[in-house]
Amino acid sequence: MIHNAHMPQSNMSFLVSRPALPVVAQWAVAFAVLITKWTLRRRTRKHLRHMSQQQLDDIGRNRAEAHHQATLPFWRP
């Protein structure tokens, strides 16, 4: 195993020292983040529909709140 003689940079300092992404790449990353958020919301709301009353009690929600959240479209926070 090879060890560097100097102290490695932290992840944050490495990222800060990198040049900015091209605009198209920034758009692509923003789009990927948006799709990921929408997918997570859709999946979470789908599971919320099928939770038992005990599970809803565990997360501090009642059936009416769960139904309301479960019926929201995925693009609405």
Residues 70, 63: Cα–Cα separation, whole Å: 10
The percent of residues in the chain predicted with pLDDT above 70, rounded, is 88
Summarize pLDDT for 33-56 with one digit per residue, the tens: 999 999 999 999 999 999 999 999
Residues 55, 62: Cα–Cα separation, whole Å: 10
Q: What is the pLDDT of residue 7?
A: 54
Confidence (pTM): 0.66
Residue 2 has pLDDT above 60, yes or no: no
Summarize pLDDT for 4-34 with one digit per residue, the tens: 555 566 777 877 787 888 999 999 999 999 9
Position 65, amino acid: E
**Nearest to 74, CA basis, from 39, 49, 48, 47:** 39
Structure tokens at 61: 């929600």
Every domain of the chain and the residues it spans: 22-71
Can you give the length of the chain in residues? Answer: 77
**Structural Rg of the chain based on CA atoms:** 21
